[in-house]
Amino acid sequence: MPEVRLMARQFHQDLDKLKDRVLEMGAKARLNVVEGVRSVVERDTELAERVILRGEELNRMDVEIERDALDLLALNQPVAQDLRTVGASLKIITYLDRIGRYGYDLAKMTKQLGAREPSGKKPVTLSLMADHAMMMLDAALSAYKDRDGAKARGVGPQDEVVDALYEQMFRTTVTTMLEDPRTITRGAHLILAARHLERCADNASKIAEKALYMATGERRLPV
Amino acid sequence: MQKAIRVKALDVHYGRSRALKSVSMDIPERSVVALIGPSGCGKSTFLRCLNRMNDTVPGAKVEGDVEVDGHSVYRNGTDVVELRRQVGMVFQKPNPFPKSIRDNVLFGPRLHRRMDRAECDRVLESSLRRAAIWDEVKDRLDAPAMGLSGGQQQRLCIARALAVEPRILLMDEPCSALDPIATAKIEELIQDLKKELTVVMVTHNMQQAARASDYTGFFYLGELVEFGTTKQVFENPREKRTEDYVTGRFG
């Protein structure tokens, strides 16, 4: 049955392409967050502008990858690992779109804060949170890329660290706002920024869950 | 769940070649089982063992055991005619007798017992209804069966198999000669039939196995590589060989 094998090979090539596109989208979403946070921490409005321009791109990729994934389903009726790969990819792009969106929102925040507020101390905890959330995202995407169940399992537990940093950021910012009401606008923004990063880490955990499902067929139920 | 069929360490040789290698399978009552695998993997051989159709193949040697409703079918003294009444079979190519629709359906029951006119009519109608073809043929019951379309002929053959009230129906690629609409009708029919009986079918159509069956068995080189719920086999097969086959990565 040479045609059958040929068709299957074509399908598997298309599936690999789909995965590559998802990873490409992941890299863009990651860049959004990294630069979005840096723009907030450094008050870099030019950088923020670049992130905002990229916002549309992720949106477009989300739509395109979804379309390609649905085409693969409609034309090939994949099963087993192939089916799980398409299913996981469809979910993962939603999480990536959200992560990219948080980066976009951080950049918007930089523009709103502008130069009118006293800049105060650099909010380095935000950078720490972003580093940790992005480490989780890297691990989740690498588990997806290599179908590595063990790596995927390792991502979820790290969420605690980001949660703890968020708590810390929240408390210190509230204290500062109480001491000096002029910092309230800035403080409110920083808390929101921290909240965005905490959500990025949650979405990275979700991606890891889908990578685990793709690799092993195992589903994590919410506890 | 009650088991309709229990197969234990079934081995089949055709002459010197070993067609089945110690296959064991428990088939729950009122379920649909699909057997998949590349040509020559032993799935049809397996199917034919269930009602001893291999008895008629010269050089075939069967070892191990098959139990239907708790009775070993390979023990001495098994009434093979009765066994085949209980375990009916439908083949790949519709094979109606060159007789009327009525005579096709009543052929089996008349062999097994004497029937008066009223009983004949009752069996005829209920069999054709269960095979979802009654409405299409009720006004031409004495027309030749050969005049029906392929899909209708296949359903007539199913009606003929049902007329002797089997508990198990074996189907060897029942839709491979049919168009998609006729195929959909047979698949729907299979879903109706499983309310009363157990269906075991061989299919080369993976989508059909996924759609129409509750359990799937994957055969390869005479071995039953994997047997599980259809959902599990198609979503998360345990065996690499199954994975490779269902995703088309074979060979």
Query: Hey, what's the torsion of the CAs at A104, A110, A112, A113, to 10 degrees?
Result: 150
Residue A1: pLDDT over 50: no
Q: Under 8 Å CB-to-CB from A192, ≥6 apart: which residues?
A: A109
**Contact criterion met (CB < 8 Å) for B237 and A84:** no
Q: Which residues of B are less than 8 Å from A77 in CB distance? A: 206-207
- Which pLDDT score is estimated for A119? 61
Residue A56: pLDDT over 90: no
pLDDT digits (tens, 9 = 90+) for B100-159: 999 999 999 998 888 999 999 999 999 999 998 999 999 999 999 999 999 999 999 999
Domains, in order of start, for chain B? 3-95+168-246 (3.40.50.300)
Residue B177: pLDDT over 90: no
**Contact criterion met (CB < 8 Å) for B235 and A84:** yes
- Which pLDDT score is estimated for A204? 98
Residue B250: pLDDT over 80: no
Q: Which residues of B are less than 8 Å from A82 in CB distance? A: 247
pLDDT digits (tens, 9 = 90+) for A93-142: 999 999 999 999 999 999 988 765 656 778 899 999 999 999 999 999 99
**Contact criterion met (CB < 8 Å) for B248 and A7:** yes
Domains, in order of start, for chain A? 2-216 (1.20.58.220)
**Contact criterion met (CB < 8 Å) for B236 and A84:** yes
- Which pLDDT score is estimated for A179? 94
8-state DSSP, B93:
S
Residue A2: pLDDT over 70: no
Interface-testing mutation among B226, B231, B236, B250, with chain A (most A C-beta atoms within 10 A):
B236
**Contact criterion met (CB < 8 Å) for A80 and B206:** no
Angle at B217 between CA B216 and CA B218, to 5 degrees: 120
d(CA A208, CA A137) in angstroms, rounded, equals 8
Region A34-41: what's the mean pLDDT?
Answer: 96
Region A165-171: what's the mean pLDDT?
Answer: 96
Q: Which residues of A are less than 8 Å from B235 in CB distance? A: 79-80, 83-84, 217
